[in-house]
Amino acid sequence: ARCTMAEAKKTKPPPTAEEAREKFAKVTAMTIDEQATTFLRSFVNEFGGKFEEVLDLAQDFKKYAPKEGEVRELEEDAAHLFLERRGETLTVKELRDALRAIDIDMNRKVSLIEFLLWKYNKTLIDLFTEKPGEIAHLLAKLEEAIAAYQKTLAERAEREEYMNNLRKLSEEGGVKGMKAKHELEAMLAADELARNKKEVEAAAQKRAAQRAVDKGDPYAEEQKRLAAEKKKKEEEEEEGKKKNRRKKDRFLKKNNTKGN
């Protein structure tokens, strides 16, 4: 539904460039996850039903940060590697040239919020301008969905790390290698139902967030169409990845059998 005139009058005017830069400095001091959440909260009408795209970017971004300390930004070489691995054609210098267009004070580092603003063609003014209408219910649904999705991501990452360690042990052979191999096979066969259930629950909360957006967004139908196209493309890509993983698992199993 469109906001009323009364609601429009309550909306604060956009921040000045100086005010936006001051707020931006506070955001870049946040953790990577907090920066992602700040971005999603600001653009809840646009990302309420596809927030996982931004959270996945945050997870990927963290892989290129040093393991020690609370990293909030990437050094230029790590940021360059992040862009290359993602298939981005821009160099870090080209990215910084683009960021300069939105008046961000350069410090020769790249924060997640900078990358998100550039990727989705947003400005600092866009980020900090108060949105018209009542969006408290949208934010509540969004944050509930984010919490569930981040928990799923953390559990998945922990499980994958453990399975990778088992793969390494299984390749060493011997009694320990055989034990690791059997445990790995058991993990591949088990836990699938439980993990799928959690992912289904997270997906249900995502749909709830999307429904909340649909009720307050006059452009919901167009957003849903674009989301459906994106989902289809992602499913096709995921199916390709699964085929490659199955091929790799068969190869490892075959070689482990030969080794024993």
- What is the model's pLDDT at position 23? 92
- What is the model's pLDDT at position 5? 42
Which position has the higher pLDDT, 199 or 60?
Answer: 60
Whether residue 19 has pLDDT greater than 70: yes
- What is the model's pLDDT at position 52? 85
- What is the model's pLDDT at position 1? 42
Mean pLDDT of 86-96: 70
Mean pLDDT of 106-121: 87
CA distance 150 to 187: 22
Longest dimension (CA), the chain: 76
Among 64-68, 145-149, 222-226, the least confident range: 222-226
Whether residue 123 has pLDDT greater than 80: yes
Which position has the higher pLDDT, 65 or 244?
Answer: 65
Map tokens 């999307």 to a residue.
210
Q: Under a CB-based contact definition with an 8 Å cutoff, are residues 106 and 3 in contact? A: no
> Can you name the residues that pair with 110 across neighbouring β-strands?
74
Nearest residue to 206 (alpha-carbon basis) of 150, 127, 131? 150
Handedness of CA 37, 43, 49, 54 (dihedral sign): negative
- What is the model's pLDDT at position 219? 45
Residue 213 phi/psi, 5-degree rounding, is -65, -45
Whether residue 2 has pLDDT greater than 50: no
Q: pTM for the full model?
A: 0.59
